[in-house]
Structures are given as C-alpha cells and as structure tokens.
Amino acid sequence: MRQGRTEDGQPVPARVFERVVAQQTPVSLPTSRPRNGMIWWLQSESPMNEIGEQVPERSCQILGITGCACLVMPAYDAVAVRMYNQLANPNGYDYLRDIRTFGNLAAGILETT
C-alpha cells in the first residue's frame, strides 16, 4: 500500500510494488474482461471484475485458492483480509457475487469511518 515503506525504511524497492500492480492485461483483451497486474486483480469497471464496484479506484486484490482474499485500498490507507478455508462450495453458491460483496462491505465500513 505504501510501496513497501515502513517506519524502519524501505526493505523492498518501491519499483517492485509499482510493477506488481501495473496493468499487465493485454490491451487487445475485450473491456468486458477484468484487468490484472502480476497476480493481483485491479479495480476496473469490467462486469467480470472480482473487486466490488463500491471499492475505490487504484485498489487491488489478491485471492487464495480456498477463498481467502487480501484487498488493498490506498484511498482509505487500509488493507482488508478475508479468511475463508473452503475448497468446495454448496450448489447455487455465487462466488463472484460473494467476493464482490466482501469488497463492498469493507469499503462501506471504511468510507463511514
């Protein structure tokens, strides 16, 4: 979120963080598809984006195989973490709606504080 800066300095160069969240998605990909950095989802207006539409611009999110998520929201100087440990979901479960809801709830809480 702060490009690796801590109270004690900068152990990892800022350019590493800048590159990780710079868009890597080819410009030829249809705009309906999500945009990605290096394994990070980037906030975009794509209907297939896994970040909630209420999450601020410049936010990014990384997802784990069991449903966990780490959502970075620089606009709020915050990171939201979702711990979830499930390899299978029940019939009718809408993963895309669920992960977007997580981001929207986190952003909504931070917006009001």
CB 11 within 8 A of CB 4: yes
Alpha helices, H only, the chain: 14-20, 95-111
Q: Give the pLDDT confidence of 3-38 residue by residue, as tens digits.
A: 777 888 888 888 888 888 888 888 898 888 888 888
Rounded to 5 degrees, φ, ψ at 102 are: -55, -50
| pTM to 2 decimal places | 0.82
Q: Which residues contact 8 (CB under 8 A, 6 or more apart)?
A: none
Domain regions of the chain by residue span: 14-111
Tens of pLDDT, residues 86-107: 777 889 988 889 999 999 999 9
* pLDDT for 1: 64
Give the CB-side neighbour count of residue 46, counting CA atoms within 13 A. Answer: 18
